[in-house]
Amino acid sequence: MSGGKVPKIPLEKQVRMAVNGDEAVAYAAKHSLVDVVAAYPITPQTIIVEKFSEFVADGEVHTEFVPVESEHSAMSAVVGAAAAGARAFTATASQGLALMWEILYIASSLRLPIVLAVANRALSAPINIHCDHSDAMGMRDASWVQLFVENTQEAYDTTIQAFKIAEDPEVLLPVAVNLDGFVLSHTLEDIYMLPEEEVHKFLGGYRKVTGKTYVDYLGKEVEVKLDPANPLSFGPLDLYDYYFEHKVPQIKALEKAKEVVKRVNEEWYELTGRRYGDGVIDAWGVEDADIIVTVLGSTAGTVRHVARQLRKEGVKVGVLRIRLYRPFPFEEVANAIKGAKVVGVMDRALSFGSFGPSYLDISAALYGLKERPLLVNYVYGLGGRDVPPSLVRRMFEELIKVKEEGEVKEPLKLLGVRE
Amino acid sequence: MSEGKAQNPYRLLIFEPGRKYESPLILNPRKLAEEKQSMLLPGHRLCAGCAAPVVVKLLSFAIRGPTIVVNATGCLEVATTIFPYTSWAVPWLHVAFENAASAASGVEAAIKALKKSGRLPYDHVDVVAIGGDGGTFDIGFQALSGMAERGHDIMYVLYDNEAYMNTGIQRSGGTPPFAWTTTSPVGKVIPGKTQQKKPIADIMVAHRIPYVATASPAFWADAVQKFRKGLEVNGPSFIHVISSCNRGWRFDTSLSIEVTRRAVDTCYFPLWEYVLGKGYFLTARSLQIARKPELKQPIEKFLEVQGRFRHLLKPENRELVKKLQEYVDAVWEDLLERAVNAPR
Ligand SMILES: Cc1ncc(C[n+]2csc(CCOP(=O)(O)OP(=O)(O)O)c2C)c(N)n1
Ligand code: SF4
Ligand SMILES: [Mg+2]
């Protein structure tokens, strides 16, 4: 949040409420005039569905709630709903997201603007209900827009923004809003919500189908939806003669999403006074930093807290929170960290047999530069392992040592694991 | 269809927003041919003699107005929508193999929400899900059961060709005992599929949904009427249609409909409907057989025209045919006991 401009809706006109991250998401979905919610319970997402069911039971929404029998069906049902022209929402975590996997690719390839909240949780086995990003990283190649939030306020704000991003005529792709399981999903925070009508206005009311296509057999341009007046076939067989070309607009739309995320972040700022960096990255103290740590999600707060202390002690450190993970903001990230001597890349997931996922992206972002900072990958917090400031401080101290020595001896470190 | 009759060269079924559609059921063949058309247009690439497009055609004769079709992966889906072509004259959605019922649930929920918020330009839109036996008995069963339990207003049509045909004739939960498939081959010691056919329609009855029926393309008027009833009930309905496949069942393409007639005549595939609160009713040929048991044909009549059962007709396998006959009889007797209109 930065000062300066007076928002259209000043804080005193916003609705202050103590909610946890899951409830914040449920309220955001309610305020976004969602037509269909199909969801299945799984910790730590369950509160979202529970809360939303209450809105339905109390007649506060027009939404059709579909209490599906699995997450595979949840994703399938929102695909069906969105194809029929509805604004559709679902939420899950961990095993549920893994079960959705097959349909994630179909949702994006059918160019359906679905919003999915993921309360990030470790994957089995062993079964574990606590936070890490393994679930989200399993869908990084699925052509979804993936946003990671830092706190409950941002969970509310981003869920609303997600609908605007997804439905943008130049994007038309599904958006996943990731909030750290328990750390955010279950932690009460005082946040500001908008009066509902303001959210309606921000989104332009109910979903309008914006995708249009020219259809030979109809002899005209029609909206891309299941429409008895304009019969279209969704999801045909598409072989080697067309499939590849059909991926091109999808690739371009996902690239375009980055600009739209930035624009929506600014629009939100004008409306509410809140923004999150430039929308895709949220940088702190990077301009003159020798050492920068990159991070996704709620851990950014802890890292910034430690960085502030180090700054006071005279160490030039910075923090780069990556808010938009897919499409990866290569340019923005490279520009933010290229001046540093050492960069620590924190990943709350591991691509087994390789590095943490964001390390690979950041390596690619830096590779084209003549001079690059040294890079160390810190895989941390798997299965919800706590990340106290002392641990983050130890990481910074190691990075200082790397800077002094001028070389990386161990590019992949497991932070906080017992020996 | 008189109202929805398309005024376009492609004969699409176009339903104008805001108009009320009433489409009386027509069972006179000549009138039917004049007034109605299939929602599946010519040019698709299903095999010559495939019964699946016949099933869709009969379904088309029953539709009431605006209708959206959700199709599971399988022969019907693959062969009717090879990009850049489509044979579908109505809005059509394919998502994946196991989720026609859940994707249709989403479509139906969307229609309800659009209606509730005053954004549906029609009085009503029917949703039909279509799946093969693999997509229904097996991999899509959970989604189907969920759809039924949640009470969505969807008609689920199962075209049952008794194997995974699209992937090359592998056994499914719908494959009958002793049938040859590529994963239940007839070997030196194992004579085809050694398990039963899952009683899928009865399982759907057990869900206590408003309407369940079986149908055969050979008894087309019975099928059309059942499709119509399935569309008319509020809530889920399930229509199990036997759909012959000359590739997988190994018969001459000219026999496609004959085979589905023999399935009924032998009581291998009895025709019935179940109305919630009223019970099971035999229909068409099956009712006639119940009244006049001598009409019932031996199972050999069904087997003898199909290569997938060829091994059963060898003298050394007489015992297997007997077993199959016993199995068919047991299922038939059981049905006779349950059917409200069976003679006692
Ligand atoms: C999850 C998944 N598993 C397997 C397949 C491969 N597959 C496609 S169609 C098909 C068989 C379809 O059988 P059925 O439902 O009986 O329809 P049919 O082709 O016989 O008409 C299979 C196994 C798939 N598409 N998706
Ligand atoms: S393989 Fe069988 S079911 Fe598939 S199109 Fe050919 S005849 Fe029809
Ligand atoms: Mg089949």
The mean predicted confidence, pLDDT, of chain B is 96
Give pLDDT tens digits for A237-278: 999 999 999 999 999 999 999 999 999 999 999 999 999 999
- The residue whose two tokens read 């399988």 is B74
- Is 80 exceeded by the pLDDT of residue B5? no
The protein residue whose alpha carbon is closest to atom 13 in ligand 1 is B164
The residue-averaged pLDDT of B247-251 equals 98
Residue numbers of the domain that contains A321: 281-415
List, in order, residues 6 or more apart from B336 with CB less than 8 Å away.
Answer: B282, B290, B342
Choose the final residue of a domain: A231, A247, A272: A272
Question: Would an 8 Å CB–CB cutoff place A146 in contact with chain B?
Answer: no
List, in order, residues 6 or more apart from A286 with CB less than 8 Å away.
Answer: A292, A318, A319, A320, A336, A337, A339, A340
Pocket perturbation via mutation, ligand 1, pick of B161, B167, B200 by most ligand atoms within 8 A of CB: B167
* B342: helix, strand or coil: coil
Say whether both A103 and A139 belong to one domain: yes
Cross-chain Cβ contact A230/B68 below 8 Å: no
CB-nearest partner of B83 from A64, A230, A237: A237
Q: How confident is the model at residue A11 (pLDDT cuts 50, 70, 90)?
A: very high
d(CA A184, CA A119): 8
- The residue whose two tokens read 């194992």 is B190
Ligand 1 centroid to Cα of residue B53, in Å, is: 17
**Percent helix / strand / coil, chain A, rounded to 5:** 40, 20, 40
Say whether both A240 and A342 belong to one domain: no
With respect to residue B3, please indicate whether it lies within any of the assigned structural domains. no
With respect to residue A2, please indicate whether it lies within any of the assigned structural domains. no
pLDDT at A381: 98
The mean predicted confidence, pLDDT, of chain A is 97
Ligand 2 centroid to Cα of residue B76, in Å, is: 8
The residue-averaged pLDDT of A160-180 equals 98
CA angle centred on A218, ends A215 and A222, rounded to 5°: 60
Q: How confident is the model at residue A3 (pLDDT cuts 50, 70, 90)?
A: low
The residue-averaged pLDDT of B79-106 equals 98
pLDDT at B243: 98
Cross-chain Cβ contact A73/B102 below 8 Å: yes
The residue-averaged pLDDT of B210-234 equals 98
- The residue whose two tokens read 């059963």 is B312
The residue-averaged pLDDT of A380-408 equals 98
Give pLDDT tens digits for A330-374: 999 999 999 999 999 999 999 999 999 999 999 999 999 999 999
- Is 70 exceeded by the pLDDT of residue B211? yes
**At CB < 8 A and 24+ separation, what contacts does B184-187 make?**
B186/B311
| Greater model confidence, B10 or B28 | B28
Say whether both A164 and A299 belong to one domain: no
With respect to residue A79, please indicate whether it lies within any of the assigned structural domains. yes
What ligand 2 atom has the least distance to the C-alpha of B47?
Answer: 6
Domain count, chain A: 2
With respect to residue B235, please indicate whether it lies within any of the assigned structural domains. yes
Give pLDDT tens digits for A72-109: 999 999 999 999 999 999 999 999 999 999 999 999 99
Residue numbers of the domain that contains B210: 49-338
CB count in 10 Å sphere of residue A135: 25
The residue-averaged pLDDT of B266-276 equals 98
Say whether both A369 and A252 belong to one domain: no
By C-alpha distance, the chain A residue nearest B117 is A62
Strand partners, B241: B159, B215
Cβ of B161 closer than 6 Å to ligand 2, yes or no, is yes
With respect to residue B301, please indicate whether it lies within any of the assigned structural domains. yes
CB-nearest partner of A103 from B17, B93, B96: B96
With respect to residue B91, please indicate whether it lies within any of the assigned structural domains. yes
Question: Would an 8 Å CB–CB cutoff place A68 in contact with chain B?
Answer: yes
With respect to residue A1, please indicate whether it lies within any of the assigned structural domains. no
d(CA A60, CA A63): 9
Q: How confident is the model at residue B9 (pLDDT cuts 50, 70, 90)?
A: low
By C-alpha distance, the chain A residue nearest B88 is A233
B90 interaction partners in chain A (CB closer than 8 Å): 228, 231
Structural contact between residues B284 and B262, judged by C-beta atoms closer than 8 angstroms: no
- Over pLDDT 90: what percentage of chain A? 97
With respect to residue B288, please indicate whether it lies within any of the assigned structural domains. yes
Element (H, E) at B271: none
Say whether both A87 and A175 belong to one domain: yes
Give pLDDT tens digits for A93-149: 999 999 999 999 999 999 999 999 999 999 999 999 999 999 999 999 999 999 999
Say whether both A235 and A367 belong to one domain: no
Say whether both A395 and A259 belong to one domain: no
Question: Would an 8 Å CB–CB cutoff place A362 in contact with chain B?
Answer: no
Give pLDDT tens digits for B34-83: 899 899 999 999 999 999 999 999 999 999 999 999 999 999 999 999 99
Domain count, chain B: 1
Give pLDDT tens digits for A29-40: 999 999 999 999
pLDDT at B10: 72
Say whether both A261 and A286 belong to one domain: no
Cβ of B248 closer than 6 Å to ligand 2, yes or no, is yes
d(CA B158, CA B239): 6
pLDDT at A374: 98
Alpha carbons within 13 A on the beta-carbon side of A406:
0
Q: The sheet that has A233-234: what strands, in order across it?
A: A233-234, B92-94, B67-71, B126-132, B154-160, B237-242, B211-215, B272-275, B279-282
Question: Would an 8 Å CB–CB cutoff place A142 in contact with chain B?
Answer: no
* A343: helix, strand or coil: strand
Cross-chain Cβ contact B94/A235 below 8 Å: yes
Choose the final residue of a domain: A223, A245, A272: A272
What's the CATH number where A188 sits?
Answer: 3.40.50.970
Both tokens of A248, joined, read 């091109």
Q: How confident is the model at residue A1 (pLDDT cuts 50, 70, 90)?
A: very low
Give pLDDT tens digits for B306-330: 999 999 999 999 999 999 999 999 9
pLDDT at B22: 85
What's the CATH number where A361 sits?
Answer: 3.40.50.920
Say whether both A121 and A231 belong to one domain: yes
Best of B16, B38, B63, B114 to disrupt the A interface by mutation (most A CBs within 10 Å)? B114
Exposed / middle / buried, residue A110 (Cβ in 10 Å: 0-12, 13-18, 19+): buried
d(CA A253, CA B243): 42
With respect to residue B16, please indicate whether it lies within any of the assigned structural domains. no
Best of A76, A105, A200, A206 to disrupt the B interface by mutation (most B CBs within 10 Å)? A76
- Ligand positioned closest to the Cα atom of B50: 2
CB-nearest partner of A64 from B95, B112, B146: B112
The residue-averaged pLDDT of A150-156 equals 98
Instruction: List all residues of chain A from 191 to 220 with a beta carbon under 8 Å from chain B.
Output: 206, 217-219
Best of B105, B117, B119 to disrupt the A interface by mutation (most A CBs within 10 Å)? B105
What's the CATH number where B122 sits?
Answer: 3.40.50.970
Both tokens of B83, joined, read 């990009």
Say whether both A248 and A310 belong to one domain: no
d(CA A51, CA A23): 6
Structural contact between residues A25 and A52, judged by C-beta atoms closer than 8 angstroms: no
Element (H, E) at A235: none
Give pLDDT tens digits for B121-156: 999 999 999 999 999 999 999 999 999 999 999 999
Both tokens of A5, joined, read 């401009």
CB-nearest partner of A237 from B78, B89, B149: B78
Choose the final residue of a domain: A272, A301, A325: A272
Say if the ipTM goes beyond 0.95: yes
- Is 70 exceeded by the pLDDT of residue A4? no
A72 interaction partners in chain B (CB closer than 8 Å): 98-99, 102, 143
d(CA A207, CA A156): 19
Q: Give how far B155 is from chain A: nearest CA, Å.
A: 15
Say whether both A263 and A296 belong to one domain: no
Residues with CB under 6 A from ligand 1: B 73-76, 97-98, 131-135, 161, 164-167, 172
Short-list B150, B46, B156, CA closest to B100: B156
Say whether both A238 and A387 belong to one domain: no
Q: What is the pTM of this model?
A: 0.97
- Over pLDDT 70: what percentage of chain B? 97
B116 interaction partners in chain A (CB closer than 8 Å): 62, 64
CA angle centred on A159, ends A153 and A163, rounded to 5°: 150
